[in-house]
Amino acid sequence: MSAISLGQATILGIVEGITEFLPISSTGHLKIAEGLMGIPVDDPAVVGFSAVIQVGAIAAVLVYFSKDIARIVTAWVRGLADKEQRYHHDYKFAWWIIFATAPIVVVGLAATPLIDGPLASLWVVAVSLLVGSGVMWAADRMGRHKRGEDDTDLRDTMLVGSAQILALLFPGFSRSGATMSTALMLDLDRVAATRLSFYLGIPALTGAGLYELKDAVGTGAGAAPLVVGTAVSFGVAYASIAWLLKYVARHSFNAFVVYRVVVGVLLLGLLATGVLSA
């Protein structure tokens, strides 16, 4: 493919920044945007570019939650040196995040040919958007929203972390949507579910971006578009994080469910009529 232009990189950076942490599927929206701009969604360079600009969004999480992350990492380091510190929730939570990231790493490496091939289809995105909407709607109603962030344990973190696999295999399901829905089913409140989703996204998405960097740079994506796309995604993602945390503190996930259904149905229509190529 020809190199992604700076204009296309800017648009994709905006899409990534808005959608990465909203439960509406950043991968799905990136693929839709790429399809509308005539960019082949299954090209290795495009897949790599999409993964790398996610690092900009992850950097936004690191900055936004810098105090919390510093507290957790400090507790983890202290616990490694002092047994008495190992009873601290932050020390255990750091290990839980590490353990909960392992499943998506294993599946991601094992299923790379499928993820970069047939599962990259926009048909998969459309169906996943709709199925994920149903899961989110049910989770928001089933959950009792009675547990806070300090109530999480290893079981919670492992289940929520493993839910990321759904979004990895079925772009459109949404990593944020899958993790938040699982957390809600475990009776976490909406803010705790959202924050846990953020924390789990840091190692998973950073690892994916670094792993795909060689493909993004080596097969046509170009350094300048990568820098622009990553920088734009950082700024937009930071604003999205601040907005989302305020929103979920007072509202249900209904608006996201409705939006996902609308986008999924429209995408099916565009694919069925040949306006978009899968």
Local confidence band at 1 (pLDDT 50, 70, 90 cut-offs): very low
Least confident of 13-27, 113-127, 247-261: 113-127
Question: What pLDDT was estimated at residue 219?
Answer: 56
pTM > 0.75: yes
Least confident of 10-24, 95-109, 124-138, 216-230: 216-230
- Per-residue pLDDT for 222 more than 80? no
Q: What are phi and psi of 188, to 5 degrees?
A: -70, 150
Local confidence band at 221 (pLDDT 50, 70, 90 cut-offs): low
- Per-residue pLDDT for 218 more than 90? no
Kindly state the percentage of the chain with pLDDT values over 90: 68
pLDDT in tens, 59-97: 999 999 999 999 999 999 999 999 999 999 999 999 999
For residues 131-158, average pLDDT: 95
Question: What pLDDT was estimated at residue 32?
Answer: 86
Contact 246, 27 (CB under 8 A): no
- Per-residue pLDDT for 19 more than 70? yes
- Per-residue pLDDT for 38 more than 50? yes
Q: Which comes out higher in pLDDT, residue 219 or 73?
A: 73
For residues 224-240, average pLDDT: 94
SS3 track for the chain? CCCCCHHHHHHHHHHHHHHCCCCCCHHHHHHHHHHHCCCCCCCHHHHHHHHHHHHHHHHHHHHHCHHHHHHHHHHHHHHHHCHHHHHCHHHHHHHHHHHHHHHHHHHHHHCHHHHHCHHHCHHHHHHHHHHHHHHHHHHHHHCCCCECHHHCCHHHHHHHHHCHHHHHHCCCCCHHHHHHHHHHHCCECHHHHHHHHHHHHHHHHHHHHHHHHHHHHHCCCCHHHHHHHHHHHHHHHHHHHHHHHHHHCCCCCHHHHHHHHHHHHHHHHHHHCCCCCC
- Per-residue pLDDT for 55 more than 80? yes
Least confident of 48-52, 74-78, 159-163, 249-253: 48-52
